[in-house]
A and B are shown apart, each in its own frame.
Chain A
Amino acid sequence: MRRRDLQLDAQGRLRHLLTIEGLKRQQIVDILDTAESFIGVGDQPVRKIPLLRGKTVVNLFFEASTRTLTTFELAAKRLSADVLKININTSATVKGESLLDMLRNLEAMHCDMFVVRHGDSGAAHLIAQHVAPHISVVNAGDGRHAHPTQALLDMFTIRQQKGEFAPLTVAIVGDILHSRVARSQIHALTTLGVSELRVVAPKTLLPDAVQGLGVHVFHDLREGLRDADVVIMLRLQKERMQGAMLPSEHEYFQTFGLTEDSLAVARDDAIVMHPGPINRGVEISSEVADGPRSVILQQVSNGIAVRMAVMSMVLGRAPVDGEAG
């Protein structure tokens, strides 16, 4: 029994944003276009537009976050929404239980949107299944599963820098196994139709079955980066050295760390991206991270416009032409 796509309403419009998987190309393009219209808002003397005035957005973060939480908050405020921030330290409560308990409490309040981050894959889907019909859920990262707004802001940045997706060769480098960012990027890039999508990592961080997602697998950094237009580096968690995933940060940097030297095989105009926070000297050298090809800070500032777009669209309040500017 296949259920209707949870994140779309009966008319096929976005009602929640839980994952990139299942979105049509045009839906992604619409989000990027809407974000484009918001890009100037931060430069105006009054950095607010009244699209979500009277709406209440709850940031429900079961996992620590700085940038994602902050940009969601900024995005909501620029749309004139009221913002409530709830940080739940998962170590202090029993996993899972706290999620539903919290949800039942919040349902009793009059909220319009939950922005959810949780350490377990599927948490955002679970919440979306159980919220009242008028509430929208935006996934701000669930376990290893998805981080759709991050992928969207990455797509926005790529489009900003490169224009078209079709001719691009994109390499995603690093801990694919544990990365919700990588999963969402893969769905976005395959849906937008890049020429070639590569994933590059040692076998311990790259499950064989990932090929089923439509990517080419590389276990050698230089081969994977050859003639790439876009290089996306993933953050390497320190825990990977405690499990039997990797021997040391040093050896990882030697073999899969992005340096000016390894980047030399990519195209001259290749851009370098990273969802942050960066581990300098682990997955990327400072030279590259701060270098001319890095667009890492653009990614962060684009995050606000993209999240404004997503929030206004799921609440059915996308701007008409001219309204945002």
Chain B
Amino acid sequence: MKLSILNGRVIDPANGVDRVADLFVVKGRIAALGTAPDGFVADRSIDASGQLVCPGLVDLRARLREPGQENTATIASETRAAAAGGITTLVSPPDTDPVVDNPAVVDLIRHRAAQAGFARVMSLGALTQGLAGKTLAEMHALKTAGCVGVGNGQRAVSNTEVMRRAMEYAATQGLPVFLHAEDPWLAEGGCAHEGAVSVRLGLPGIPEAAETIAVARDLQLIEQTGVRAHFCGLSSVRAVQMIARARFDGLPVTADVAAHQLFLTDMDIGYFDSQCHVRPPLRSQRDRDGLRQALADGSIDAICSDHQPHDTDAKLAPFPASEPGISALETLLPLTLRLVDEGVLGLSEAIARLTSGPAQIIGRDAGLAVGEIADVCIVDPEQYHELSAATMVSHGHNSPFLGWEFKGRVTHTLLGGRETFCVDKPIQPLT
């Protein structure tokens, strides 16, 4: 199969490319940029005039609900939604049921993803067995099975000694540790940022210190153990500043932010809008602005979806009793492009935060250099569309962005040169 993508604006941050050019794909790999290879005759060509041609997006955190909650969503249903969002690689956290603490679960996830064929799914392994925070998981086995890192999901390792040993052991295995910085005691029972809004609504608060204290502890341990660490889904500007400072001092740490944290604040909870119930909680406007700033100056490497699909009932409960999380695969790119429109990031930087930035964290490439696997996302930057439950591909329709109008829409997604999404074709049925 030979494919040409003609006249698009090719944005490949990993290789410093941003120009209008033709892209040629042969046997699932990038064959040439600019001039067609000798004797190239396209079996198919896509006219990308006026469109952006980027590497397929890499999402560092998406819960697919399989194994464990297939009644809510499956690897097939959610990777199909990922494809519709321009995502070709996503990282599944270890807090599935069963937990990813043995190679069998890693194999299962990879197998199901391959069967569905919509996206590459990388697993994070468990840091501790059963995520219980007590004994170390078999990280060597998890690495051998293909885990790109280890973490404890959103379950804090409250025992600092266990955390230290887990980091040391992960460092021994050469695995990066993915950290959700949240002090379990300060966060216990909370459901909203501790501040003016939580006080007004009488919602149990999660103070900013729940994040900063956990970051402070973990930074000390990272320094001591020398492990490579990645902070997931930061919510407070103070925590981001602490990490930026540690990086300046030479610590091997990276960080991501969930796209919704760049747009929403605790004010958006309004009168108990459970779609705005997320964890870590939406914080103040100062935090949101600080996260945007950190994204622009490179202190935050990646934007992720933090996709958490739910069935309808999960959000139909009083705010504190509703499940936290947003179905977010399909808003990752539109929200990021909105940051460009709002002047937070340049276009190429924005694409970098969705491709080369996150790819580097999991030790992969995401570029359009000759020879690379042809994971490609083509976007019409001028097309407007409104997010609606009726057209969402994910089985979770829980989003605070329903009804938002976005500019910029994925038109094609290619996975290894094969089309996994085309805006003009009906969504592929699940087999």
A-side residues, CB < 8 A to B, are: 1-3, 6, 21, 95-97, 99-100, 118, 120-123, 125-126, 130, 142-146, 180, 183, 207, 209-210, 212-213
- Which 8 interchain pairs have the tightest Cβ spacing? A144-B202, A96-B317, A122-B272, A120-B318, A96-B321, A145-B202, A123-B318, A212-B196
Query: A96 contacts B271, CB within 8 Å?
Result: no
Q: Hey, what's the 0/1 contact readout for B190-205 against A, CB within 8 Å counting as 1?
A: 0000111011111111
The answer to whether B203 touches A121, judged by C-beta atoms less than 8 angstroms apart, is yes
Question: Is there a chain A Cβ closer than 8 Å to B38's Cβ?
Answer: no
In the complex the two chains form, is B195's CB within 8 Å of A99's CB? Answer: no
Q: How far, in whole Å, are A209 and B266 apart by their CA atoms in the complex? A: 13
Contact yes or no, B403 A126, CB < 8 A? no
List, sorted by A's number, 17 A–B pairs whose CB atoms are closer than 8 Å: A3-B270, A95-B317, A95-B321, A96-B317, A97-B313, A99-B318, A118-B318, A120-B319, A123-B318, A125-B272, A126-B318, A143-B203, A143-B320, A145-B202, A145-B203, A183-B200, A210-B199
Q: What is the CB-to-nearest-CB distance from B263 to chain A, in angstroms, rounded to a whole number?
A: 13
* A1 engages B403 (CB within 8 Å): yes
B395-431 Cβ-contact flags toward A at 8 Å (1 or 0) = 0000000010000000000000000000000000000
Mask, B103-135, CB within 8 Å of A = 1, is 000000000000000000000000000000000
Instruction: Check A207–B205 contact: CB distance below 8 A.
Output: yes
Specify which chain A residues have a CB less than 8 angstroms from the CB of B194 in the assembled complex: 207, 209
- Complex CA gap A120/B270 in Å reads 16
A residues within 8 A CB of B203?
Answer: 121-122, 143-145
- Contact in complex: A122, B318 (CB < 8 Å): yes
Q: A96-B317, A122-B271 are in contact. List 7 more A-B contacts (CB 8 A).
A: A21-B200, A100-B316, A100-B317, A122-B201, A126-B316, A207-B199, A207-B205
Q: Is B173 an interface residue (CB 8 A)?
A: no
Chain B stretch 201-217: residues in CB contact (< 8 A) with chain A: 201-205
B322 interfacial by beta-carbon distance below 8 Å: yes
**A95 and B316 alpha carbons, distance in the complex (Å):** 12
C-alpha gap A123/B202 in the complex (Å): 12
B285-323 interface with A by 8 A CB criterion: 313, 316-322
Residue of A whose beta carbon sits closest to that of B205: A207
Residues of A within 8 A of B316 (CB): 100, 126, 130
Residues of A close to B199: CB separation below 8 A? 207, 209-210, 212-213
A180 touches B202 (CB 8 A): yes
A118 to chain B, nearest CB (A): 7
Residues of A within 8 A of B200 (CB): 21, 183, 212-213
Contacts of A145 in B (CB 8 A): 201-203
> With a CB–CB cut-off of 8 A, which chain B residues contact A212?
196, 199-200
Q: How far is the CA of A21 from the CA of B205 in the complex (A)?
A: 20
Given contacts A143-B202, A207-B205, contact A122 B196 (CB under 8 A): no
Please measure, in the bound complex, the distance between the C-alpha atom of A222 and the C-alpha atom of B205, giving whole angstroms. 29
- A179 closest partner in B (C-beta): B202
For the complex, would chain B's binding face be called helix, strand, loop or mixed by DSSP majority? loop
CB distance from B310 to the nearest CB of A (A): 13
Collect the chain A residues with CB atoms within 8 Å of residue B317's CB: 95-97, 99-100, 120, 126
Residues of B within 8 A of A180 (CB): 202
Partner of A120, one of B195, B320, B403: B320
A146 CA to B202 CA, complexed, in Å: 8
Do B270 and A121 have beta carbons less than 8 Å apart? no
In contact, B318 and A96 (Cβ under 8 angstroms): yes
Please report the C-alpha to C-alpha distance between residue A183 and residue B203 in the assembled complex, in whole angstroms. 12
* Interface residue ranges of B163-205 to A (CB < 8 Å): 194-196, 198-205
A interface footprint on B312-338 (CB within 8 Å = 1, 0 otherwise):
010011111110000000000000000
Instruction: Give the distance to chain B from A95, nearest Cβ to Cβ, in Å.
Output: 5
| Contact in complex: B320, A121 (CB < 8 Å) | yes
A6 CA to B318 CA, complexed, in Å: 15
Docked Cα-Cα span, A146 to B271, in Å, equals 12
- B300 shortest CB reach to chain A, Å: 27
Chain B residues lying within 8 Å of A130, measured Cβ to Cβ, are 316
Whole-angstrom CA separation of A12 from B329 in the bound complex:
40
User: Are the CB atoms of A121 and B318 closer together than 8 Å?
Assistant: yes
Query: Which residues from chain A contact B321 at a C-beta distance below 8 Å?
Result: 95-96, 99, 120
Measured CB to CB, the closest approach of chain A to B253, in angstroms, equals 31
Interface residues of B in 269-286 (CB under 8 A from A): 270-272, 274
Q: Which of A120, A122, A144 has the most CB of B within 10 A?
A: A122
Query: Closest B-chain residue to A146, C-beta based?
Result: B202
Chain B residues whose C-beta falls within 8 Å of the C-beta of A95 in the assembled complex: 317, 321
The distance in angstroms between the C-alpha atoms of A180 and B318, with both chains bound, is 15
What is the CA–CA distance of A1 and B403 in the complex, to the nearest angstrom?
9
How distant is the Cα of A97 from the Cα of B321 in the complex, in angstroms?
A: 9
Instruction: Out of A6, A97, A183, name the residue touching B202 (CB < 8 Å).
Output: A183
Which of A96, A144, A207 is in CB contact (< 8 Å) with B322? A96
Please measure, in the bound complex, the distance between the C-alpha atom of A123 and the C-alpha atom of B316, giving whole angstroms.
Answer: 10
- With both beta carbons as reference points, the residue of chain B lying nearest to A206 in the complex is identified as B199
What distance in Å separates the Cβ of B195 from its nearest Cβ neighbour in chain A?
A: 5
The answer for the CA separation of A254 and B321 in the assembled complex, in Å, is: 37
Report if A100-B272 is in contact (Cβ < 8 Å); known contacts: A120-B318, A142-B318, A143-B320. Answer: no
CB distance from A235 to the nearest CB of B (A): 15
Of all chain A residues, the one with the shortest Cβ separation from B268 is A1
- Choose one: B313, B318, B322; the contact of A143 (CB below 8 Å): B318
Q: Which residues of B contact A144 (CB under 8 A)?
A: 202-204
**Chain B residues, CB < 8 A from A123:** 318
Of all chain A residues, the one with the shortest Cβ separation from B198 is A209
Name A127's closest neighbour in chain B (CB-CB).
Answer: B318
Write out the residue numbers on chain B whose beta carbons fall within 8 Å of the beta carbon of A125. Answer: 271-272
- Taking the closest CB of chain A, its distance from the CB of B265, in whole angstroms, is 14
User: Are B205 and A122 in contact, with the CB atoms below 8 A?
Assistant: no
CA A97 to CA B313, docked complex, whole Å: 8
Name the residue of chain B whose CB is nearest to the CB of A21.
B200
Q: How far is the CB of B247 from chain A (nearest CB, A)?
A: 31
Q: Which of B199, B203, B270, B316 has the most CB of A within 10 A?
A: B199
Minimum C-beta distance from A72 to chain B (A) = 20
| Complex Cα–Cα for A6 and B272 (A) | 12
Given contacts A97-B317, A99-B317, A126-B318, contact A121 B201 (CB under 8 A): yes
Which chain A residues lie closer than 8 Å to B322 at the CB level? 96
Contacts of B313 in A (CB 8 A): 97, 100
> Which residue of chain B has the shortest Cβ distance to A118 in the bound complex?
B318
When C-beta atoms are compared, the residue in chain A nearest to B269 turns out to be A122
As a 0/1 sequence over residues 243 to 273 of chain B, the CB contacts with chain A under 8 angstroms (1 = contact) are 0000000000000000000000000001110
Structural contact, B319 and A121, CB atoms closer than 8 A: yes
